[in-house]
């Protein structure tokens, strides 16, 4: 029997689990304080729903679940690979939320403001920062097209990030409609835009020359590639520049409203328009946003508007927008810097001889409330045991019958 975890999954020691609990509890508390309500959905979804969800590259990363019993035997006999599976593990929380809303719409407020904090699964190639099982922390607003939903999500997410102590960050905003309008001015055709966006999304990794090379390999016109390169190399490419290129585009006004509103509501973080912000999911239809740490490189939260996804279940348009905190990335950052949970109740160990169990337990009951108290029979090698306690995040110990007071580590 193997003792190691499956690749791409982790065990967490008590000290690590305590940090994860703190992060989840603080994020949940912040979301709830802003009027969002928590829901829960199954980890397994119908494979048809997953396959038709427009999840971009994530559709290639679905963990599929084989049929069982006679159904599996019939599928194997038919030698039809597509018929082998009828379920899959969710790869994000947005598709399950869309199904949930369609199934429970009549019981929910409109607009519906919800929280999801749960595990998701992707068949990634395991590496640092790429897990197969990980947590997402989402808030969504369903049932309104008002841009105030975007503003509320940005400010709520920012408050959660401040409350967990991640440090300084900035919020970047773009709009899929505006980006596509700008691409049209450079000569790309409507049917080419999604492919062009996929290439632009790699700008941070491969640079402008890499994007141009990929677009050339895809067979796009050199004139269009050249014009796009001029746009992407404009520093900074401001919202005013976007408006000059697309003076009739309504999404310019949408971005300006969000920027002005967020700035009016806070002075603690920067918010800016970024033409290169794409976001990978194919279901985004308008605003997309991302939070970037200014101290630690990379995104720590992101989301966008997905007005068409729920309609796949209800055959009617249902506007929706969501924001997700990058829980695992933040956990990794805080672990690496030795983050200490603020205002944490200290953990104390009471060591006792078995004959003293009852009075030792009475002592532990007396100090509980001031401390979290664990009871242990006093081992022969007390020093090594205390070292192990300290490694696991214990703050002090008391040897019943010997110690005059708690010994803090």
> Binding residue per annotation — 283?
yes
β-bridge partners, 376 = 351
Q: Looking only at Cα atoms, what is the longest distance across the chain? A: 87
Give the H/E segment covering residue 98: helix 94-104
Number of Cα atoms under 13 Å in the Cβ half of residue 368: 10
Query: Contact at 8 Å (CB) between 283 and 94?
Result: yes
Q: Which residue carries 């505006």 as its tokens? A: 178
Instruction: Tell me the C-alpha distance between 163 and 374, whole Å.
Output: 29
Give bridge partners of residue 287 from the DSSP assignment. Answer: 175
Q: Rounded distance, CA 291 to CA 303, Å? A: 9
First to last CA, the chain: 37
Q: Is 279 annotated as a binding residue?
A: yes
Q: Is 190 exposed, middle or buried (0-12, 13-18, 19+ CB in 10 A)?
A: exposed
Does 122 carry a binding-site annotation? yes
**Closest by Cα among 66, 57, 141 to 92:** 57
Pairing of strands 287-293, 299-305: antiparallel
Q: Per DSSP, which regions of 57-145 are E strands? A: 64-66, 85-89, 112-121, 133-142
**What is each CA distance from 252 to 41, 95, 191, in whole angstroms?**
36, 28, 22
Q: Residue ranges of the alpha helices (H) in 221-356? A: 222-232, 239-245, 250-265, 311-314, 327-336
Residues paired with 51 in a beta bridge? none
Compute φ and ψ for 167, nearest 5 degrees: 95, -165
Alpha helix segments (H runs only) across 118-268: 148-163, 176-185, 193-200, 203-217, 222-232, 239-245, 250-265
244 assigned to a ligand binding site: no
Does 23 show up as a binding residue in the annotation?
Answer: no
What residues does 136 pair with on adjacent strands? 118
Helix axes 203-217, 222-232, angle to 10 degrees: 160
Known binding-site residue numbers for L-histidine: 92-94, 122, 136, 140, 279, 283-284
Known binding-site residue numbers: 92-94, 122, 136, 140, 279, 283-284
């Amino acid at each position: 029997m193997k003792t190691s975890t499956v690749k791409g999954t982790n065990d967490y020691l008590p000290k690590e689990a305590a940090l994860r609990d703190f992060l989840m509890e603080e994020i949940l508390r912040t979301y709830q304080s802003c009027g969002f309500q928590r829901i829960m959905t199954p980890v397994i979804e119908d494979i048809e729903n997953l396959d038709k969800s427009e999840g971009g590259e994530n559709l290639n990363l679905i963990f599929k679940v084989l049929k069982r019993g006679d159904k599996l035997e019939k599928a194997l006999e038919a030698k039809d690979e597509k018929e082998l599976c009828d379920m899959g593990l969710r790869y994000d929380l947005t598709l399950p939320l869309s199904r949930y809303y369609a199934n429970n719409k009549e019981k929910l407020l409109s607009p519906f403001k919800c929280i999801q904090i749960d595990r998701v699964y992707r068949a990634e190639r395991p590496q640092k920062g790429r897990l197969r099982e990980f947590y997402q922390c989402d808030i969504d607003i369903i049932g309104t097209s008002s841009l105030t939903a975007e503003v509320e999500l940005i400010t709520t997410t920012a408050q959660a990030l401040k409350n967990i102590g991640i440090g300084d960050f900035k919020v970047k905003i773009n709009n899929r409609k505006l980006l596509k309008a700008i691409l049209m001015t450079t000569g790309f055709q409507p049917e080419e835009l999604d492919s062009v966006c996929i290439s632009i999304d790699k700008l941070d990794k491969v640079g402008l020359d890499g994007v141009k090379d990929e677009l050339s390999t895809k067979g796009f016109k050199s004139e269009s590639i050249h014009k796009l390169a001029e746009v992407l190399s404009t520093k900074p490419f401001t919202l005013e520049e976007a408006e000059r290129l697309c003076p009739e585009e309504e999404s310019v006004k949408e971005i300006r409203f969000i920027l002005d509103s967020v700035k009016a509501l806070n002075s603690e973080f920067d918010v800016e328009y970024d033409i290169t912000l794409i976001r990978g999911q194919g279901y985004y239809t308008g605003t997309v946003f991302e939070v970037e740490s200014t101290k630690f490189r990379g995104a720590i939260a992101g989301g966008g508007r997905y007005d068409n996804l729920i309609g796949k279940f209800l055959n009617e348009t249902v506007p929706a927008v969501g924001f997700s905190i990058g829980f695992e990335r933040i956990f990794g950052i805080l672990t690496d810097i030795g983050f200490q949970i603020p205002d944490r109740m200290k953990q104390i160990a009471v060591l006792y001889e078995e004959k003293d169990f009852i009075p030792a337990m009475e002592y532990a009951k007396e100090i509980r409330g001031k401390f979290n108290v664990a009871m242990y029979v006093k081992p022969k090698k007390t020093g090594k045991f205390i070292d192990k306690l300290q490694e696991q995040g214990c703050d002090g110990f008391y040897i019943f019958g010997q110690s005059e007071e708690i010994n803090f580590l």
